[in-house]
Amino acid sequence: MKKSDPHRRSGTAAARLRQTTQYISERISVRPAIAVILGSGLGDFAESFIHADAIPTKEIPHYPRSTVFGHQGRIIAGMIGRISVLAFQGRVHYYESGSLETVLYPIRVAHALGIRTLIATNAAGGVNTRFAPGDLMLIEDQINLTFETPLASPGGGRGGPSCYDAALIGTIVRSAKAAGIPLKRGVYLGLKGPSYETAAEIRMARQIGADAVGMSTVNEATLAASLGMRVAGFSCITNLATGMLPEKLSHAEVTDVANMVKQRFADLLGATIAAIGPH
């Protein structure tokens, strides 16, 4: 008997989403209140969960697979203190599949599971000349230069003045200060990738108001906000963008710096989740 492929696309989009969420719900012991997307090199945060249940995404029906080093491909549900959290340990980028719906699928899953608060994280290149590798940046706004938008897709929802929740931003700034965690604030610019930007493109990014640049997050945040979720975002500044230093960039550098700051990043996420509470 031929073994069925859990990723085979069959039925309507709504039916596939129901199958995905049912599979996850049956295998986790908590009802998550907050979802966290863990970017390149940042996946270790989920290892601190207690009463955790981990599901390899390759086993989940219809769930997209990540192929990039530093994205482990697991969903982990557990507790941070008294707060239930669902972590996407690794994400799928647009350049891996060429499909925006693939990128957005984890957001649809989180929303379908009843989660109404999203924390999106990424590794990013610093565009702001005052930033340094290892800095953590709270995303206050974004620039979407992927030339894609989830608002044009079925079930995309409606746009608004900002994807990032102002009340959450205030809460995070206060909690980081109370915990003694240095935190930059700025605008994240998202591109499709997979190639790093040219020096001229980085000069353009700086001129139009970007503080950090990366290859994710903007469409995820847009969809989540349009569906009524509260959204917060963090960038780990893993390198200075092209043209700011003479060295060539590499993905290994991104993950190496993320690994160096992972404890400070975990402390920031822990403080943020505790301050948000079990809404």
Q: Domain locations in the chain?
A: 13-276
User: Whole-structure pTM over 0.75, yes or no?
Assistant: yes
**Residue 61 in this model has a pLDDT that exceeds 70:** yes
pLDDT band for position 1 (50/70/90)? Answer: very low
Q: For the chain, how far is it from start to end, CA to CA, in angstroms?
A: 46
Q: Provide the mean pLDDT of the chain.
A: 88
Q: What's the pLDDT at 2?
A: 40
Q: Could you give the count of Cα atoms lying within 13 Å of 4 in the half-sphere of its Cβ?
A: 9
pLDDT band for position 153 (50/70/90)? Answer: low
More confident residue, 253 or 19: 19
| Rounded distance between C-alpha atoms, residue 140 and residue 220, angstroms | 15
Q: What's the pLDDT at 272?
A: 94
Q: What's the pLDDT at 6?
A: 43
Q: What's the pLDDT at 260?
A: 80
**Residue 3 in this model has a pLDDT that exceeds 60:** no
pLDDT band for position 5 (50/70/90)? Answer: very low
Residue-wise pLDDT for 17-45, tens only, equals: 999 999 999 999 999 999 999 987 788 89
Contact yes or no for 240/125 (Cβ under 8 A): yes
Tokens of 29: 């012991």
- H/E segment holding residue 229: none
CA distances from 174 to 169, 181, 182 (A): 9, 10, 11
> CB count, 10 Å around CB of 148?
19
Q: What's the pLDDT at 261?
A: 85
Residue-wise pLDDT for 63-82, tens only, equals: 998 776 545 689 999 999 99
Q: What's the pLDDT at 223?
A: 96
Q: What's the pLDDT at 4?
A: 42
Prior bond of 194 cis (ω within 30°)? yes
More confident residue, 106 or 91: 106
**Residue 8 in this model has a pLDDT that exceeds 70:** no
Find the angle CA(245)-CA(249)-CA(253) to the nearest 5 degrees: 110
Find the angle CA(94)-CA(273)-CA(181) to the nearest 5 degrees: 95
Q: Which long-range contacts (CB under 8 A, 24 or more apart) does 204-209 make?
A: 205/127, 205/143, 205/241, 206/127, 206/128, 206/129, 208/143, 209/143
- Of the chain, the percentage scoring pLDDT greater than 70 comes to 85
Question: At the fourth CATH level, which superfamily is domain 13-276?
Answer: Nucleoside phosphorylase domain (3.40.50.1580)
**Residue 220 in this model has a pLDDT that exceeds 90:** yes
CA 146 to chain centre: 16
**Stretch 40-68: mean pLDDT, rounded?**
88
Q: What's the pLDDT at 249?
A: 56
| Rounded distance between C-alpha atoms, residue 97 and residue 213, angstroms | 20
More confident residue, 222 or 69: 222
| Rounded distance between C-alpha atoms, residue 158 and residue 5, angstroms | 34
- Of the chain, the percentage scoring pLDDT greater than 90 comes to 68
pLDDT band for position 109 (50/70/90)? Answer: very high
Q: Which amino acid appears at position 79 of this protein?
A: M
Query: Which residues are the active-site residues?
Result: 40, 71, 93, 95-96, 123, 215-216, 239, 251
Contact yes or no for 9/16 (Cβ under 8 A): yes
Contact yes or no for 276/34 (Cβ under 8 A): yes
More confident residue, 105 or 259: 105
Residue with token string 């604030």:
185
